[in-house]
């Protein structure tokens, strides 16, 4: 009888020891995982992910790209619609140097509502240009590597959008700026602005100005697009109901 009790106690002690060792090993794996990500080649890292976390590097990359794709689609659809910029929180307002011109022109015949008119035209141009932004952004998303995806998944609530903006801003601007200029011309914004600047520079005793309108509009239009992409990403990360595909559900469950 006593022997059986000792045997049971020994069995319990052994099981407890095994559980304790497993917990220690799990902690070691978690501590070593960032090092493994940096030092392993893609094939090795793939095996670690597949067997250790139940989520492959390929799935992680596809999931994050899918989230960004949804964000870009939502942003483009919203901002390219009529009043997407003009009557929303993303409305493009005039910078200080432009306001100097419009404030002075309010007393000049034909330019009493110059600021309202130029704001309307540049926002209409931004809405028109936003239609062409989708392919530019999606091409940049395709270039995200599996290593980028792994780092992004465990990052901040808008880590994917920040990555996209940080790594593609210059290239995106180079492609987007001509589109903005074309749209500004389409709505007569640049001609109207040139007339306004000429009228302003004829006012006696003022310092002549010629602010670059297209650069400002490009910057603010891109800010609006990135802001909406970030909003979508944050929603997918924090709201399970916005994970509308099985892939999004699987990938983002890892960061919950």
DSSP 8-state assignment for residue 99: H
* SS3 assignment, position 80: helix
**In tens digits, what is the pLDDT along the chain, a chain of 256 residues?**
545 444 543 454 444 444 444 443 344 333 333 333 344 455 544 544 443 456 787 888 899 899 999 999 999 999 999 999 999 999 999 888 888 888 888 888 888 888 899 999 999 999 999 988 888 888 888 888 877 887 888 888 889 899 888 887 888 888 889 999 999 999 999 999 989 888 888 888 888 887 788 999 999 999 999 999 999 999 999 999 999 999 999 988 887 7
Note the pTM of the prediction, 2 decimals.
0.73
Q: Collect all residues with Cβ–Cβ distance below 8 Å to 163 and sequence separation of at least 6.
A: 144, 148, 152, 155
Q: What is 212-256 written as a DSSP string?
A: -HHHHHHHHHHHHHHHHHHHHHHHHHH-GGG--SHHHHHHHHTT-
Q: What was the pLDDT predicted at 61?
A: 87
- The closest of 175, 170, 158, 173 to 67, measured between CA atoms, is 158
DSSP 8-state assignment for residue 110: T
Q: How far apart are CA 143 and CA 65, in angstroms?
A: 10
- Domain segments of the chain as ranges: 60-253
């Amino acid at each position: 009888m006593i022997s059986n009790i000792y045997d049971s106690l020994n069995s319990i002690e052994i099981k407890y020891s095994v559980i304790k060792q497993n917990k220690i090993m799990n902690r070691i794996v978690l501590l070593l995982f960032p090092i493994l990500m940096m030092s392993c080649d893609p094939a090795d890292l793939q095996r670690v992910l597949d067997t250790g976390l139940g989520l492959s590097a390929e799935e992680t990359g596809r999931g994050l790209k899918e989230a960004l794709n949804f964000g870009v689609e939502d942003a483009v659809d919203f901002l390219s619609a009529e009043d997407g910029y003009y009557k929303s929180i993303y409305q493009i307002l005039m910078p200080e140097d432009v306001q100097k011109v419009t404030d002075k022109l309010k007393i000049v015949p034909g330019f009493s509502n110059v600021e309202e008119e130029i704001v309307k035209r540049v926002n209409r141009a931004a809405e028109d240009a936003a239609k062409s932004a989708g392919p530019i952004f999606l091409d940049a998303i395709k270039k995200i590597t599996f290593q980028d995806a792994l780092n992004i998944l465990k990052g901040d609530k808008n880590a994917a959008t920040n990555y996209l903006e940080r790594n593609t801003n210059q290239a995106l601007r180079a492609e987007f700026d001509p589109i903005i200029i074309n749209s500004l011309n389409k709505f007569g914004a640049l001609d109207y602005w040139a007339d306004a600047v000429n009228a302003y520079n004829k006012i006696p005793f003022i310092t002549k100005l010629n602010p670059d309108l297209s650069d400002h509009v490009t910057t603010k239009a891109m800010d609006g697009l990135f802001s909406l992409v970030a909003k979508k990403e944050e929603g997918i990360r924090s709201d399970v109901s916005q994970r509308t595909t099985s892939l999004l559900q699987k990938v983002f469950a890892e960061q919950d």
